[in-house]
């Protein structure tokens, strides 16, 4: 027995238990090891020389984390006839930060939209702004404007960052036109695909250089894991981002990756069903007198409907709408909800409610919010898997107090 190799019992306590894997596990295991051992120093030297590659340390790479990252990359590239490469990060914001930190430097430009997630806007202005990287707001409905915003300095790198559907107004932007414009002007093209997921939309098909996700949302879908993902078809770019991830310590961990993988198994079913519920709910909300305006690209009345019908397989599971006229009306409505949960996230199996003006977009100047229809009366609903009638009943009873 192994214990006969030791003279003292404390040595046996400190040693690693020996695992026997006679047949492969049906589910990927959680490889909860911070370090990986080498058979010889020569092997270790060779592995360290050829990174990323074989495993040395979980910050560099981990079998569980890498397997799930590659599965997300395969989903984004499905049907593309091209390989994609994935990385998992500690959060969606880490995924955005790592990508832009890798691609841009002082004097470069970010060209983005005005109706972006508030945290992303803050990142661009407060963090990248300190590094002399300028953020410019573009009208993405006019791709030719990109050339004007980019300027004429050939040494200056430009990166177009887009979120479609946008958070929280669900405005959609033409990925095909923007992708072609970025190639024409030699700009990087990065797309946040969190709201749509690869089930409904695949930006790599529209020439995106990088796709980012908050896996915390739909990819995991159950509210028990925090993470982000970065996907690209450019292996050299993948290695550059990995190098930044390794050195910044923004990596995911085996347990979160394992949880994300469990969520991915039902991603297609959840996205299509929750999108179906959202369309039913949005259609009903349009008929309610106390609802001033409904934002959902699945509605024929929505200005993004034609575009969304073309580039998305369904319209997503987020519905935003204006309640009454004021902040007080919005607060009264939210406080009256009994079933739908007030929570600062989205993409889970139950319906979640957020008030953008006082939560996700609190730090965005009011004049900018209003310019992009993010009013004090706007409410964002992440529609879950409950029966639509139960969600509607909760909304109706909340409206009755107004």
- Residue 230 shares a structural domain with residue 287: no
Count of domains forming the chain: 2
Mean pLDDT, the chain, rounded, equals 94
Extract long-range pairs of 285-292: CB within 8 Å, 24+ residues apart.
Answer: 285/319, 285/321, 285/395, 288/396, 288/399, 290/323, 290/324, 290/399, 290/402, 291/321, 291/322, 291/323, 291/399, 292/321, 292/322, 292/323, 292/324, 292/325, 292/377
Q: Determine phi and psi for 302, rounding to 5 degrees.
A: -80, 140
46 lies in a domain? no
Indicate whether 187 belongs to any domain.
Answer: yes
CATH number assigned to the domain comprising residue 231: 3.40.640.10
Identify whether residues 200 and 279 lie together within a single domain: no
pLDDT of residue 293 exceeding 90, the answer is yes
Q: Looking at per-residue confidence, does 59 or 19 come out higher?
A: 59
Domain assignment of residue 334, yes or no: yes
Give the residue from 264, 281, 307 where a domain finishes: 264
pLDDT score, position 4: 60
Give yes or no: residues 324 and 367 share one domain. Answer: yes
- Whether residue 153 lies inside any domain: the answer is yes
Give the pLDDT confidence of 246-258 residue by residue, as tens digits: 999 999 999 999 9
Residue 222 located in a structural domain: yes
Q: Which of 235, 264, 293 is the last residue of a domain?
A: 264
In CATH, what number is assigned to the domain containing residue 278?
3.90.1150.10
Mean pLDDT of the 332-349 span = 96
The mean pLDDT value for 287-300 works out to 96
Query: Do 211 and 75 share a structural domain?
Result: yes
Residues 327 and 218 in one domain: no
With vertex at residue 257, the alpha carbon angle to CA 251 and CA 258, rounded to the nearest 5 degrees, is: 155
Is residue 54 in a domain?
Answer: no
- Tens-digit pLDDT profile for residues 226-271: 999 999 999 999 999 999 999 999 999 999 999 999 999 999 999 9
In tens, the pLDDT along 57-103 reads 999 999 999 999 999 999 999 999 999 999 999 999 999 999 999 99
The answer to whether residues 305 and 320 belong to one domain is yes
Which of 264, 295, 324 lies at the terminal end of a domain, its last residue? 264
Give 163's strand partners.
192
Given a contact cutoff of 8 angstroms between Cβ atoms, the answer to whether 163 and 195 are in contact is yes
291 falls within a domain: yes
Query: Does residue 79 sit in the same domain as residue 210?
Result: yes
Q: 213 and 327, same structural domain?
A: no
Give the separation between CA 218 and CA 214, rounded to whole angstroms: 8
Q: What is the structure's pLDDT at 146?
A: 87
174 and 69 inside one domain = yes
Whole-number Å distance between alpha carbons of 163 and 286: 25
Name the pLDDT band for 2 (thresholds 50, 70, 90). Answer: very low
Average pLDDT over residues 329-341: 96
Tens digit of each residue's pLDDT (9 = 90 or more) over 140-168? 988 888 888 888 788 899 999 999 999 99
Indicate whether 382 and 294 sit together in one domain.
yes
142 CB burial (10 A radius; 0-12, 13-18, 19+): exposed
Residue 156 lies in a domain: yes
Cα–Cα distance, 332 to 290 (Å, whole number): 13
Does residue 361 share a domain with residue 249? no
| Residue appearing with tokens 């790198």 | 157
Residue 1 has pLDDT above 50, yes or no: no
Mean pLDDT value across residues 12-17:
82
Q: Is the pLDDT assigned to residue 15 strictly greater than 90?
A: no
Domain that holds residue 342: 268-399
Specify the length of the chain in residues: 402
CB count, 10 Å around CB of 183? 12
List C-alpha distances in Å: 146 to 34, 208, 369.
45, 15, 22
248 in the same domain as 292: no
């Amino acid at each position: 027995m192994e214990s006969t190799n030791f003279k003292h019992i404390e040595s046996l306590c400190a040693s690693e238990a020996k695992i026997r894997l006679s047949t492969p596990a049906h589910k990927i295991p959680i490889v909860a090891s911070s370090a990986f051992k080498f058979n010889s120093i020569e092997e270790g030297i060779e592995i360290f020389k050829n990174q990323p590659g074989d495993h040395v340390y979980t910050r560099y790479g981990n079998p569980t984390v890498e397997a799930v990252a590659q599965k997300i990359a395969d989903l984004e590239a499905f049907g593309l006839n091209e390989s994609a490469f994935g990385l998992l990060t500690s959060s969606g914001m880490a995924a955005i930060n790592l990508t832009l930190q890798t691609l841009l430097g002082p004097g470069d430009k970010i060209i983005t939209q005005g109706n972006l997630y508030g945290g992303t806007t803050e990142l661009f202005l407060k963090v990248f702004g300190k590094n002399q990287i300028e953020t410019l707001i573009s009208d993405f409905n006019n791709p030719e404007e990109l050339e004007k915003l980019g300027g004429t300095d050939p040494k200056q790198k430009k990166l177009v960052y887009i979120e479609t559907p946008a958070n929280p107004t669900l405005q959609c932007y033409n990925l095909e036109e923007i992708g072609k414009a970025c190639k024409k002007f030699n700009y990087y093209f990065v797309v946040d695909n969190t709201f749509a997921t690869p089930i409904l939309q695949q930006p790599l098909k529209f020439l995106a250089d990088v796709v980012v996700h908050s896996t915390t949302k739909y990819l995991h879908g159950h509210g028990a894991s925090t993470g982000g993902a970065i996907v690209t078809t450019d292996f050299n770019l993948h290695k550059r981002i990995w190098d930044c991830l390794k050195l910044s310590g923004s990596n995911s961990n085996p347990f979160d990756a394992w949880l994300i993988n469990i969520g991915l198994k039902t991603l297609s079913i959840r996205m299509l069903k929750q999108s179906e519920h959202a369309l039913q709910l949005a259609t009903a909300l349009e008929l309610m007198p106390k609802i001033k305006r409904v934002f959902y690209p699945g509605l024929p009345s929505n200005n993004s409907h034609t575009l969304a019908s073309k580039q998305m397989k369904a319209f997503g599971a987020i519905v935003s709408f204006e309640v009454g006229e004021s902040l007080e009306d919005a607060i009264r409505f939210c406080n009256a909800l009994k079933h739908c949960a007030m929570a600062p996230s989205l993409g889970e199996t139950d319906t979640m409610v957020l008030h953008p003006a006082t939560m996700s977009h609190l730090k965005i100047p009011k004049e900018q919010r209003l310019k992009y229809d993010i009013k004090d009366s706007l409410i964002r609903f992440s529609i879950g898997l409950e029966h639509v009638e139960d969600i509607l009943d909760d909304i109706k009873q909340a409206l009755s107090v107004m």
